[in-house]
Every structure is written in structure tokens, then in C-alpha cells.
Chains A and B, each alone.
Chain A
Amino acid sequence: MWTNAIKKIIVFSLVLVLQGSWMTPAMAVDALPALPAIVRACQDTFPAFKNAQPFTLPAARRLTTPAQFKIFLEQFQNQYHSYMQCIFDGAVQEILGSSGANSSGYWAANTPNIPQWLVPDVACISSQKLKAATENTGTDVLLPSTLKAYYAYSAFLAQFYKTYQENLTLSRAEDASAFLQQAKNAVVNELQDSLSALSSTFSQFTELREVFVMHVQFQCMLHNLEEYRVFLGKIRSIVLLLPARIIDASKLK
């Protein structure tokens, strides 16, 4: 009876010990004191990544096969990139939504219709509002959070690979070597691709912000030019009543 109890206590203790040793605090994206709103809105999409702590479980020790490695890696990729996608999609929505137009349906996949989120009437938004939208989504705002997530991801994958390296059990040594090399390639590629994607996204996003501001202003200018043109036409229709020979007021001597 008591031996069973002791056994349970010992197992529990071992689990706790193992938990402590496998904890990867870098994996958890702890909340910054003042996270940007866009990043804060994405925290809910990240619980799996933040709380996964996969190796705290007894099953973590069973990361012994290439198939398991692939499944795990894919899962972590999904978590991390979904989080990043959430941040940047939120930023794009923040930019485009600043026009005040309803952007619902805007995110519908493969939508055949162009969303009318920028008709000239609503395009004339104040430059302050535009400025706020662009500043809230600036690189300086988003970069710290995204970089922090990337470094967490990077450290986590390194730890993940190390676990795999230690646990991989195969009958042939040369197979183990090849599998480890492939796993290493996969992790390295993933990290390089992630960083590259981050850089590329920031470049594209900067361009989007710039173009959006100009587009809004151009649309607004077109709106006013249209007004100008309409009045001009009306004036002309009235002035047509005037006789052919008019004394040029500005050239009289």
C-alpha cells in the first residue's frame, strides 16, 4: 500500500524534476509591459506556442523517430507562423481600416469581387488619422515584438533539435547520422526562411503603408478635382449666356 504511494510520489517528483530541466522559458512569449495593440490582439492566437512546453510531458521523451520530429516541427511552425500572420494581418487591417470603410468580407479567401473599401467619399480622411494608422503600424512598433517571438522560436527549435538528437534511437548508426543531418537542415532552413520572411514582410508592409497613404490622398484629391470640374462645368453653362465679345477686364488699359 505505502509502496504504491511512495512510487507515485517518486514518479511525480521525477516528473517535476524533468519539467524543470525541460522548461524552455524562451519559448514563452511573455507579455511586454506595453505591447502594441496589434500584437496584444494576437496573444490569444498563441497559447499553444506559449504554453506548449512539450517536453514537460512524459511523452516528450518519445521523440525518437524522424516521423515524430516532422510532426512536431510542423506543429511548431503552424503555431509560430500563425502568430506572425495574425500580427501582420492585424497591421494591414489597421492600415486599410483607417479609411473608415467596412472591411468585412475583405479577408474572404479568393473573393472574386474587389472590396469597395475606398470610395472617394470616405477617402478624404484626415491626415492625422492617416498618420496615426501608419504610426501604429510602423516598423519600430512591430519589430520588437516580432523579433522577440522569432528569437523565442529560434531558441525553442534549437532545444527541440537537441532533444531529438539525444533521443533518436535507430538500429543503424549511419541512419541516425543522416536523419540528424536532415533534421538539422530542416531546422536551419526553417529559421532562415522565417527570418527572411520577416524581413520581406516588413519591406512589403512598408511599401503598402506608403502606397495606401498616397492612394487615399489621391482619391481624396480626385474627389475634390471632380467637384472642381463639376462647378467649372456649371459655371461654363451659365457663362455661355454671355455675348461673344466681352471686354477683357484684366487687359483694359
Chain B
Amino acid sequence: MKKILLLIIALSALTFAKPALANEEFNNDLSGRGPGATESPRDQDTSFCGPNHPIHQFSLYTRAYCGAIATDNDSDVFQAVAAQFDLENTTLIKKIINGEPLKPDELTNPLRARYNLPQQINAFSVTPLIADVLAAYEKEKVIDRMKKNFKQEFASSEQWYNAALSDSPMDLLVDLNLIDVMLFGSQAQWNNDVYHFPGSTGGEAPSSPVIPGNGRESNPDPRLRGDDNSTGTTNTPPFNHATDCVPPDSPDAIPPSPGEIPRACGNNVLDRGEQCDDGNRVSGDGCGNTCRLEDVGTILCRDPEAITFRDFKPAPPASGGGTAGGGGSTSASEPAASDSSSECPAGTRPRQGLAHDVQRQGLPQSPHYPGPFVGGVLKNIALTIPPPCPPDESPIQIQYANSTSSTCVPTKWCANPDDVKSLMDKVRKAVLGAAWADNTDTKKIGDSIEAIFCVNVTTANRPESPYSLNEGCVDCQIRSMVTTLDKLLQYQIAPMENTRNAFGISNRWGPQFSFDLNLSMPSNPEIKFNEKVDALKQADAALNKIEQDRVHGSDPNTDINQPDSVRDTSVSNLTAEFTDFNQKQDEQAFTALRAYRANTDAAKEQDFSQDLIGLLNAWQQSFSNIQNVFLGLTDTLKFDQLRQCQ
């Protein structure tokens, strides 16, 4: 038995001491590596954050861990600790942190004096120094880690909110920019998180936005000029009068647009065939000498009638007094050849099917018009190369519907907040009317618009922490946008008001035209209200008089001064009467409109109605879709949190 026990002990000892089970077996069993792997374990860096482990763009965890990892990147921490001990290098600090023994000559004199160290040090004498270094190291490590985390989170914030094109497929600022453009026209531009207003209220001509690919810029790079199809830009062939212009009665000719032939151009009345009539026959003010809308660039579009729904197109180089290169404004004295027919000699029309027809099918509007983006195409330029911008402008990118565009916007407008404020007043008046502040609803909208526009968040102003200014501002931008959308949709005023402005600002529509269908909004309700108030006051006075007469024994029926209509009515009847009056007036107006239209040769009534009403229904449906999306916005989980921010 003793022998057996001795054998067991001996075997156990052998098992523990057996050197044959060395590293090779150890690693074969555990790491799955083949034999010999441990002979050169570091010949290939297989660590999680090593070069053989790529960090994916959206792999948040990998990025966070490898960004925060301190094992190999503690040099900043060592430096910070060394500075606290007046050391020029980090050797001593590293040795202390790694638990290595210190040598007397490694200690500097200031350090010796500070810790009162003897010439011959021992473990006991350097204990306070080691404790201080370790404490400082721990503190600096925590700070370093927090800093790295903040940087990570801020980078993440930037990635989602203000991404470079290669960073992320989503960029909320671009989304907001596009929504702004949709709602407020091309006035709204973001650049590096700064809201910009192209155009000027002053006399100077700012550099107009350069839209790459439309030919305005003078960059020699064909890709940036839009000559290269690979950039996705439109490549318009040169216009050839000999082949592209045909007689107007030719079946190949572009059909005449409504109101093309001006009859009484310059009489300040928009006659049939006129696109505009500003009372003169002078070009360059937005309404050309033939009463055609003209593209006069960006700065001269102040005349309301000059609102052009056409896209920017390159001004002819030899168009006269202005310059048109390098992103500058177009000629001020000569009409830009924005009209298709003007490119053909008199008596001829452009032939159908030309490339530039396609280009002009859209109805973009002036970039200075603060209304909804009514027609045309967004800057649909698939350009990955930022445009070369003038010194005072910066490039922005717009990604939308599978395409990316770039453009330059002036950067100087946010330098002076007063400029923004002044411009904002104009925008509000244009959008909401001069008396916007007097009406509760419009005032709310106006204030909301201001909340959106009065932003000045530059990247430089941002702190590194995503939890302070950056997040607050960007989130509040979104919140303001949502709030405004809420108001727009809640009151349904702004879309109609904007629409009305967009359409009605020209005298071709009249300032207060409405469709008078289901979509129409009550126009100027305060006026009707005043009328009602006056009427009610009269009724009250009459009733009081009747009552007084009754009390004093007078017979109201014998009062010859009392109007019959008032004598027999009551307040409620009167209110109903006025309501009925309004409805009747509306019906009367509609009837008059129908009658007028039926007597015109504009189109057959039936076709017209079908076309228009069908479109209006579709339009209304699209508006309902917007409302539904907005409801979805408020319904989502995270917007509950957003509301808490308000």
C-alpha cells in the first residue's frame, strides 16, 4: 500500500514536472494554432485591433474598443504623467508603471529633491514616488479614456449628422437642407452647419451660387464643367440654328406655350400670351422686353414679377454688360436667353426633341424666391468632386434620390447676425404677408421660421463633446424643423400661403387668388371677422333699443327708425346669415369663374376640369402623405424623446 501511495506521489510529481508538455502542446490545445505557432507568435499580428482585423465603417463596437484601447497607445498618458513630474521623457514613468526596479542614476535631481531621496535608493525610499506616479497614471488614464470616448462619440455624431460623402449614407443636415429647399425655395442653404442665404439685400452683387454641370462655372476641368458624362451631368449639344429651328407651323416645332405671343406688352396688364408685364419693355429686370420671363441671374431678381420658374442656365458669354464666368452673376443689362424661342431667329421655332428641351421641361424657380420649390429638378449633378469655389464661397453637397450634387454658397451672410435678421424679416413678409405678426397663426409660423433661420453653428465653434453645444444645436435644428413642419401641417396655411405667393406674386394670378375648390383656404379671415363684428354691434344696438323700448312701454313694431332686417333678427340668425353670405359669395365666384372660363378659348371646359381636378386631387393626396409622414415622425420612439427637449 505504501508502495502504491509512493507511486501515486511520484507519478503526480512527474506529471507536473514533465517538460515535454511545453508551449507547443499548450498552444495546440488552446489557441488552435498548429505546431510551431509559438516559435514566432508575433510574426503576424492577429490581435483584435491589429492590421489584420479591419475596422469596418459601421462596426461601432470595434471602432469604440480599438479607439479606446490603452495598451499600445498610452504614450499620451505617459507624457502627461511625465510632465507632472518635470521629466523630459517617459522612460522612468514606464518603468515605474511596469513595476521594473529603478536605478539611482535614473532619478533626476529635481525629483530627488522633491521626494527627499538619498543617494542610494531602496524600495522603501522610492515608495512615495511610485505611489504618486501610479496615482497620476490612473488619473490620466481615466481622463485619456474619457477624451477618446468623447472623440468617438463626436465622430459618430458627425458621421450621422454631417457626414462627408464617404462616411455615411445618411446625413441629417442634408435631409434638412433638402426639406428647407422644398419648403422655402432655394433660399435655404447649409454650409458646414451654417445657414446661408444666397442673394443680397444690398446693392452689391454677391457671387451667385455656382451649380456645377450647368455650364456657369468656368473651371477648365471638363468634369467640373459638366462636359464629362461620367460625372452624370447633362451634356447639352450646341444649338444649331440651321437644323434646330423650324417654321412655327411645322409639325416638328415645339408647340407654342400658352400666352407666348404678346399683344400689349408693357401696359402693366398681363394679357394673354404674356408671361409677365411689368409696365415697361425693358429687359434685365426679370420681365423681358417681350414680356417673357427672363433669367437675370441671382442678384437682380427683386422684382416680384421677375420670379422665374426656369432653371438656371448659362448666360451667353457675349450677352452684354455683365460677366458670367466663375460663378458670377449674369448680365444685368441684357436678357439672358432663358426662353427657348429666343434662341431661334424670328419666325422660327426650336424643333422638338432637342436635348435642351428636355433640360427645360422642368420648372425650377429663382434661387432667390423664398417659396416652395415649385418645379424643375433639384440640382441633379452626380459630382463626387467638390466644385471649385470662389474665396467667399464654400462647397456643399446635396444627396438626393440616388444622386449627389455639389454647389457653392456664399459664406459671408452669417458673419453678421443683423444681415440674417434683416433678410429674415423680408422672407417672413414675403411668405406670410406684411401683417404676419398681427395674426396669431402667422406669427407662430413666422417665429418658427426665425428659429430655423437664426442659426450660427460653425464647426469651429463646436466643442469636442457631443453633449453640449453640438448636440443641442443640431437637435434643436431638427426640433425647429419638426416644429415648423408641425405648424405648417397643422394650420395648412403655409403650403397654401407659400403656394399662393409662389403663384400669385405675379399679376397673372392676382395677389389673393385661390383655387376655390376643396383645397382653398379662407383668405383674410380677419376682414370677414370685422364685418361680422360690425354687424353684430349693429344687431346688439338694435336689440338693446328694442328691449329698452319694451321696458319703457314703447312698441318696437311702430318704431319707424328700426330697419326691418334687424328688427326681426337675432344674433345667431345674423351670424348664420353672414356665413351663408360667404358661402354664396364663394359659389358666386366659382360660378363666375366657370362662366368666364367657358367663354374663353383657353381649353375645353371638360378637359380643363378633368385635368385640373385630377391633378388637384393628386396634389391633395400628396399633401396628405406629407401629413402622414409627419404623424409617423411624432409616432416614433425617438421623437418622444425629442419632445422632451422642447
Contacts and interface: CB of A to CB of B under 8 A. Distances in A.
Given A85-B59, A215-B170, A248-B523, A233 B622 contact: no
Given A14-B15, A92-B60, A74 B523 contact: no
A234 B622 CA distance: 13
Interface string B56-68: 1111111011011
B29 interface: yes
B523 A78 contact: no
Contact of A231 (B259, B608, B615): B615
Nearest to B18: A58
Interface in B580-598: 585-586, 588-590, 592-593, 596-597
Contacts of B516: 249-250
Contacts of A203: 149, 153, 156
B512 A250 contact: yes
B26 interface: yes
| B interface, size bucket | 35 or more
Contact of B608 (A185, A230, A241): A241
Chain A, interface SS category: helix
B615 A6 contact: no
A233 B618 CA distance: 12
A115 B169 contact: yes
Interface string B510-522: 1111111000111
B612 A239 contact: yes
B593 A194 contact: no
Contacts of B47: 74, 77-78
A177 B513 CA distance: 90
Contacts of B172: 211, 214-215, 218
A231 B466 CA distance: 41
Given A82-B48, A197-B61, A211 B182 contact: no
Nearest to A235: B615
A95 to B, nearest CB: 10
B230 interface: no
Given A14-B12, A192-B70, A224-B625, A85 B61 contact: yes
Nearest to A57: B29
Q: Which of A54, A57, A212, A225 has the most CB of B within 10 A?
A: A225
Q: Which of A11, A58, A72, A251 has the most CB of B within 10 A?
A: A251
Nearest to B519: A235
Contacts of A181: 97-100
A75 B41 CA distance: 11
A218 B510 contact: no
Q: Which of A106, A199, A237 has the most CB of B within 10 A?
A: A237
Nearest to B274: A244
A102 interface: no
Contacts of B632: 126-127, 130, 217, 220
A208 B161 CA distance: 10
Contacts of A235: 612, 615-616, 619
B637 A134 contact: yes
Q: Which of A54, A235, A237 has the most CB of B within 10 A?
A: A235
Interface string B161-184: 100011001111001101100110
A161 B56 CA distance: 31
Contacts of A242: 597, 602
A147 to B, nearest CB: 14
Given A199-B149, A244-B269, A11 B178 contact: no
Nearest to A72: B30
B152 interface: yes
Interface in A127-149: 127, 130-131, 134-135
A82 B641 CA distance: 32
Nearest to A176: B99
Given A135-B637, A229-B374, A211 B160 contact: yes
Interface stretch (A19-27, A32-40, A59-67): A59-67
Contacts of A71: 27, 31, 38, 41
A33 to B, nearest CB: 25
Given A189-B70, A240-B508, 14 more contacts: A59-B25, A81-B48, A88-B60, A106-B58, A109-B56, A110-B54, A111-B57, A114-B169, A196-B148, A197-B61, A208-B156, A221-B626, A230-B375, A248-B514
18 contacts: A67-B38, A81-B48, A88-B59, A96-B58, A178-B99, A182-B98, A203-B153, A226-B182, A229-B372, A232-B619, A235-B619, A236-B374, A240-B259, A244-B508, A245-B269, A245-B510, A249-B520, A249-B590
Interface of A: 3, 6-7, 10-11, 14, 48, 52, 54, 57-63, 65, 67-68, 70-72, 74-75, 77-78, 81-82, 84-85, 87-89, 92, 96, 106-107, 109-112, 114-120, 124, 126-127, 130-131, 134-135, 174, 177-182, 185-186, 189-190, 192-194, 196-201, 203-205, 207-215, 217-222, 224-253
